[in-house]
Homo-oligomer: A and B are copies of this chain.
Amino acid sequence: MRRILLGMILCCAAMPALTAEEDIVLRGMGSFHVGGRVAEVSGKAVRMIVRQPGGPQTKLDPNGQYMVEQMYVQYFLPRQRKGKLPLLMWHGGGLTGVTYESTPDGREGWLNLFVRKGWDVYVSDAVERGRAGFAPPDVWTSEPTFLTYADPFERFRIGDGEGSWNPDPAKRKVLSGSQFPVEAYDNYMKQSVPRWLSTDDAIIAAYVALVDKVCPCVLLLHSQGGAFGFKVAEQRPDKVKAIVAVESATAGNLDKAAALKDTPVLMLFGDYVDQHPRWANFKKIDLAYADAVRAGGGTVDVINLPDLGIKGNSHMLMQDKNNAEIADVIQKWLAGKGLVE
Binding site for B on A (CB under 8 A): 1, 4-5, 8-9, 11-12, 15-33, 36, 38, 49-56, 58, 60-67, 70, 72, 74, 79-80, 93, 96-98, 101-102, 106, 108-109, 112, 125, 130-131, 133-137, 143, 145-151, 167, 186-187, 189-194, 197, 200, 224, 227, 249-250, 278, 281-282, 285
Q: Which residues on B sit within 8 Å (CB–CB) of A151? A: 64
Is the CB–CB distance between B197 and A67 below 8 Å? no
Is the CB–CB distance between B65 and A148 below 8 Å? yes
Instruction: Across the A-B interface, give the 5 residue pairs with the lowest CB-CB distance, nearest first.
Output: A33-B190, A64-B148, A30-B102, A67-B189, A65-B149
Is the CB–CB distance between A192 and B150 below 8 Å? no
**Which residue of chain B has its CB nearest to the CB of A190?**
B33
Which of A96, A98, A108, A281 has its CB near the most chain B CB atoms (within 10 A)?
Answer: A98
How far, in Å, is A289 (CB) from chain B's closest CB?
10
Q: Which residues on B sit within 8 Å (CB–CB) of A125? A: 130-131
Is the CB–CB distance between A98 and B79 below 8 Å? no
Q: Oligomeric state, in number of copies?
A: 2
**Which residue of chain B has its CB nearest to the CB of A102?**
B30
Q: In the complex, A17→B19 CA distance in Å?
A: 8
Q: In the complex, A150→B62 CA distance in Å?
A: 11
A101's partner among B60, B74, B191 (CB-CB below 8 A) is B74
Q: Which residues on B sit within 8 Å (CB–CB) of A22? A: 27
Q: In the complex, A36→B22 CA distance in Å?
A: 32
Q: In the complex, A26→B24 CA distance in Å?
A: 5
A–B Cβ pairs within 8 angstroms, 5 of them: A1-B5, A17-B19, A33-B98, A36-B190, A56-B278
Is the CB–CB distance between B79 and A32 below 8 Å? no
Is the CB–CB distance between B30 and A25 below 8 Å? no
